[in-house]
Structure 1
Amino acid sequence: MDLPHRTRRARAARLPGRTRHRGADGRACGRCDGVSGAVDVLTQDGRTAGVLLDGGREPSAHSPRPFLHPVLTPGGRTVSDYRPADHLWHWGLGIAVATIDVVGQEHPVNLWGGPTYVRGEGYVQLANNGSQRLRHDATSEDAMCQQLAWCAADGTAFLSEERTWSVGAVPVDGVEWFRTTVRSRWRNISGGALVFGSPTTAGRPDAGYGGFFLRLAPTFDGADVVAADPDVDRLRAPGTGVRVHEAQAMGSTGPWLGMKSVDASVLMVQEPGNPGGYSPWFVRSAGTPMLCAAPFFRTVMRLEPAGILDWSWSLLVADGAVGEAAFAEAARVAVLPRRGSADTAAA
């Protein structure tokens, strides 16, 4: 029997070669049909929480990188989107950074995809779309560990990353959530300083995207946005979250942020020990639904040569439009102690 606040162990199972993920209805998923490097991320009872792809077959102008899609609720509903017509480089859940200044590169490296915002010029398609290249991956009993190289458009590696994906089922007050936790260690291998930024740091207001990013399914168009009550630390005291307007949430800073449509709810949680503390939120509900913990929203972050940044985020998804109090309690339960790289490395 599951106990409140207790997570069940998850298993990440490697699928060989070319795979075909099947949805809850048993039919093949055309969007990941035949994609090499697909990994089913499974909870202990065998239900699929998402499909992890290495992104290696995506167009170079879209900044290839690993991503999770579809992201599924416990009931099998898809909450993520892939290659929406408005932004073909938006793919499910992953880590994407809009601009990175790298010594020796003419333009900032774009690991978000598509054009780059240039101060005084607007969006320009430059020859600067980099990639996050999978060097090695391995599974442990409860996680998938990836060794990645962040590369400029010319193939020069400037950052190494250890990324661990783990999945579990979290029952909280009668609501079952699937939780995907991503722990990521960035190491500067460029020989010079790296500077991470966003379109807002380049001059475009309220466009501070980049970080831990989820492109939501079209069913979240017009979804309600739910935030932590600013008067109470919801990670320490259970209580009720509050509905807020998209404009209020955009650029706000807090431990968690959620969105709910008629048939599903999503909740993104930041660990308080992340570099710089809680990041601002980039969120859109109308038209292009998306949610992003955006550490470089307003301020650039500098990483010195051989420097290290450790990050941890969680995404929780549930069926139905859950209440504000359920968001707050799930966020409190989701915060986990930071683990060092030795703990996250797969056996």
Structure 2
Amino acid sequence: MPNVQAHDLRCAGRVVARYVWDPQLPATVSPRPYLHPVTTLAGTTVTGFMPADHLHHLGVSIAVPVLNEANFWGGRTYVTGHGPTHLDNHGRQQHDRWLHRSGDRVEQELRWTGHDGVPLARERRTLTVHQLTDHAWMLRVEFALSSATGTPLTIDSPALRGRAGAGYGGFFWRAPAGPEPVHAFGQRAGGDVHGSRDPWIVLSGGRPGRTAWTLLFLASSPEADPWFVRSDDYAGVCSAIAWDRRLVVAAGEVFTRRLRVVIADGPPDPATIAAAAEAWS
């Protein structure tokens, strides 16, 4: 495999995330920067990368199924009346320049280009890590999208093209595949979190007492996008920016989202949830 360009993010004296900012990947996965592996403070990996069930799932990334008809998610494109279809429309997110790069924070500018290499969008992205408790740390994510062409950006999802419940697109975290079940629940919706707008939701998995892990996703504020959640066929969470209506970013405007994710060892802990909520507020 060709060499990739990556930057390690550290917390509590150890590497907790590898940010691959110049990936060397096939066009069909819509190449984009990603975080993998991401680990707990004890070293348990909590991301999945190019799993057999979805080769285009790249750990933690910013991915959208359709932006101005270009696929920045990877895999097939959902076509109204035909379903998932292989199209030659895969885009690429390319690093332009660093605005900041240190052990606990990176800030960069990127170009989103179509399959023909023409820039469609510009992005400013910031990733920050800090320790929350002795067994948990927090990842802060912020991204801002704007048009690179002087025309609007239009983002939609398979749900808007006829595939019910498939409103994914935006910040996406693919959890690791494994034999142990993964559980999902939220603050208000209990176990029915798919499509909810809960302030936070939890994914938990691993082996109790050994490699158990918890991911706590805190909604951006005040937008509170719906959550796209999978925990049965695979485990993943997306803060869905085009869940039930197209997102249009007018020329000259900037679309911004901010999220927080707590990565903890062990099963869900009310004290960790409380500490995360306090830090977020």
* TM bucket, shorter chain: over 0.9
Separation of aligned partners in 1, 2:186 and 2:196: 10
Structure 2 residue aligned with 1:37: 5
Equivalent residue for 1:312? 258
Question: What residue number does 1:255 align with?
Answer: 199
Q: What do residues 16-63 of structure 1 show as CA deviations (whole Å, max 9, x unaligned)? A: xxxxxxxxxxxxxxxxx97421111011x3211110002530111110
Aligned to 1:268: 217
Q: What is the one-letter code of the residue matched to 1:294?
A: A
**Which residue of structure 2 aligns with residue 84 of structure 1?**
51
Q: Counterpart of 2:213 in structure 1: which amino acid?
A: A
Contact 2:9 2:15 in 1 (8 A): yes
Bigger Cα Rg: 1
2:153 maps to a residue whose letter is L
Q: Is the 8 A contact 1:37 1:54 kept in 2?
A: yes
Q: Which residue of 1 aligns with 2:136?
A: 177
* 3-state DSSP of counterpart to 1:218: coil
TM-score normalised per structure 2: 0.92
Secondary structure, aligned partner of 1:61 = helix
Structure 1 residue runs of 4 or more that deviate by more than 6 Å after TM superposition: none
1:243-285 CA-partner distances (Å, limit 9, x unpaired): 41xxx21111122111111411111112213xxx101111111
1:198 Cα shift?
A: 0.7
Q: Is the 8 A contact 1:56 1:133 kept in 2?
A: no
Name which of 145, 153, 174 aligns with 1:194. 153
Distance verdict in 2 for CA 1:136–1:221, change over 3 Å: farther
* 8 Å CA contact 2:10, 2:103 repeated in 1: no
288-297 vs 175-184, which moves further: 175-184
Select 1:57's aligned residue among 24, 44, 53: 24
Shift of 1:66: 0.5
Cα gap change, 1:75 to 1:330, in 2 (>3 Å): same
Structure 2 residue 110 is the aligned partner of structure 1 residue 148: yes
CA-based RMSD: 1.8
Partner SS, residue 329 of structure 1: helix
How far apart are residue 327 of structure 1 and its match? 5.5
Report deviation, 1:220.
7.9
Instruction: Give the distance between the partners of 1:220 and 1:209, measured in 2 at CA.
Output: 25
Change (3 A) 1:217 1:330: farther
> Relative to total residues, which structure has the larger strand share, 1 or 2?
2
Instruction: Read off the aligned partner of 1:154 and give its amino acid letter.
Output: D
- Give unmatched runs, 5+ long, in structure 2: none
Which ranges in structure 1 are unaligned for 5 or more consecutive residues? 1-32, 102-107, 231-242, 337-347
Deviation at residue 229 of structure 1 after TM alignment: 2.7
Residue 168 in structure 1 maps to residue 130 in structure 2? yes
- Count the aligned residue pairs: 275
Tell me, yes or no, if the aligned pair for 2:200 and 2:217 is still in contact at 8 Å.
Answer: yes
Matched residue SS, 1:192: coil
Report % sequence identity.
Answer: 31
Residue 81 of structure 2 is matched in structure 1 by: 120
What amino acid sits opposite 1:161 in the alignment? E
Structure 1 residue aligned with 2:182: 223
